[in-house]
Amino acid sequence: MTPLHRPTLRETLAAAGADAESLERAADTLRRADDAALPWYIRAATGFGAWVAACFFLGFLTLTGLFREHGVNFVFGAVILALAVWLSTRDKGGEFVRQLALVLGLSGQGFVLASLEILKLEIIGIGLFGAALAAALLVLHRDPVHRFLCAGGALTGLLVAAGKAEIAWLGEALVVAALAVVVALGGRPEARRAPPLSGLRVPVRFGLLATSLGVLAFSLGKELRAEWMSPVTSVGLTALLGVQMFRDMAALGAAPARRLLLIPVLLVVGYIAQSAPGVAAALIVLGMALRERDTLLLLFGVVFLAVFLGGFYYELALPLWHKAGVLALSGAFALAVRGVVLRLLPSEGRA
């Protein structure tokens, strides 16, 4: 059985009570929908064209000297934001209009944020205003890519405000909380809601995830880590990983005594997380990927685990020869954990 194996749609629907006639109807519907939809590469190429055209248009407006006044920028930004939201709610228009709504939405936010001097706001205020604007657009703008960027933008705005307020732990707590939200939103069916509240979960999850992991990338450099990172991140992320692992073990029906075997693994991860907190975050993402059988999450997890683990070993202040020893011991530890896992999780065929 492959790690991300999913039952087929036919198996899933049949198990949910669909009869043969319903299954054929469903196949027909999906076939017609697939034939009507343009393939991704045509949409991507057309979308790229929309971005190029929009850049030329905005370039022309800039060259006219229209944007020398902050007031004009603010009004222009608000107008094109409204236009972008309206375009995003239209079902017709195809990929070009969709991408136009996206580029106008992003440009509008840029114009508004760049002109906030007229409101006499400090950096903290700009951060909070940006977060509030992104949160509002997250709901109003229907495009999933725009929603993904707005989720990341809202978190970034809060992090900027927290950083400027010089409350050291607040930014770190925000990153841990964002990852906790990502974990909490996974593994359950999305509730049915009417627009504009429908279709929010996936872009919000990935927006928060990409931003959190991006912020954690700052922990790769020793100086940066020492400057802004306290044990809040490493302890918080290790605790979140622990909660996730215990929950999964419970879902698999493991006896409480067996669940205690997770503690040594968590202690090792916690130790590594002190100097590479991203390792714990990447393991959290890998856990989600396996539970949800999600290829994109798996890709995120593998890439970030490689980056953070690589950073951890690179920064070890040891001669190459000793580093080789530490790497060999770590490899042996991973293989030992594999042995324990295979003993703890007997194959269902043999159970």
Nearer to another protein, 71 or 331 (CB): 331
| Radius of gyration of the CA atoms of the chain, in A | 24
Nearer to another protein, 53 or 177 (CB): 53
CA distance 272 to 266: 10
CA distance 13 to 22: 9
Nearer to another protein, 27 or 267 (CB): 27
**Residue bearing tokens 């802004």:** 228
The gap between the terminal CA atoms of the chain, to the nearest Å, is 16
Q: Residue 194, Cβ neighbours under 10 Å: how many?
A: 6
Nearer to another protein, 256 or 319 (CB): 319
For 311, half-sphere exposure in the C-beta direction (CA atoms, 13 angstrom radius) is 22
Residue 35 C-beta: closest distance to another protein, Å:
5
Nearer to another protein, 147 or 153 (CB): 147
Nearer to another protein, 41 or 92 (CB): 41
**Residue bearing tokens 């990852």:** 179
**Residue bearing tokens 């045509």:** 42
CA distance 169 to 232: 7
Residue 320 C-beta: closest distance to another protein, Å:
4
Which tokens go with 192?
């049915």
Peptide bond between residue 189 and the one before it cis (omega within 30 degrees of 0)? no
Residue 125 C-beta: closest distance to another protein, Å:
35
CB 208 within 8 A of CB 152: yes
Q: Residue 145, Cβ neighbours under 10 Å: how many?
A: 17
CB 72 within 8 A of CB 66: yes
Nearer to another protein, 33 or 257 (CB): 33
Residue 186 C-beta: closest distance to another protein, Å:
9
Residue 249 C-beta: closest distance to another protein, Å:
10
Nearer to another protein, 195 or 223 (CB): 195
Reduce the DSSP state of residue 320 to 3 states and report it. helix
Residue 110 C-beta: closest distance to another protein, Å:
18
Residue 52 C-beta: closest distance to another protein, Å:
5
Residue 336 C-beta: closest distance to another protein, Å:
8
CB 172 within 8 A of CB 232: yes
